[in-house]
């Protein structure tokens, strides 16, 4: 009986953890999924991207454990740390241009 309870708890914990990860991957009904690797895996693009190459960007969902921005370029997409100084400057310029 103790073994079955332990298995049930493990299955519930695995299902809960799996559902937490899924909330990061799908945002605003986008297809393909919007996700970036975690910062600990070194998955962020580290160099400044020239503004003329940026076609658009989208933040990951607030429920994600690692905040990131998926930046759309002319030839693909890269993940960027939203705290990087160059990206903050880019956002300020975009905000000024839209007002």
Q: What is the mean pLDDT of residues 4-22?
A: 53
pLDDT tops 50 at residue 22? no
The domains found in the chain, sorted by start residue, are 2-98 (2.40.50.40)
Nearest to 57 by CA among 88, 23, 97: 88
Tens digit of pLDDT for each residue in 39-82? 555 578 889 999 999 999 998 887 777 788 999 998 888 899 99
Note the pLDDT of residue 14: 57
> What residues pair up with 71 in beta bridges, in sequence order?
57, 78
Write phi, then psi, for 54 (nearest 5 degrees). -80, 120
């Amino acid at each position: 009986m103790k073994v079955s309870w332990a298995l049930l708890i493990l299955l519930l914990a695995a299902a809960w953890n799996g559902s937490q990860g899924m909330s990061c991957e799908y945002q605003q009904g986008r297809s393909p999924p919007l996700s970036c690797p975690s910062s600990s895996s070194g998955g962020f693009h580290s160099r400044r991207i020239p503004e003329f190459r940026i076609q658009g960007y989208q933040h990951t969902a607030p429920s994600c454990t690692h905040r990131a921005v998926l930046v759309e370029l002319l030839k693909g997409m890269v993940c960027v740390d939203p705290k990087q100084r160059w990206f903050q400057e880019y956002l300020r310029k975009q905000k000024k241009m839209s007002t």
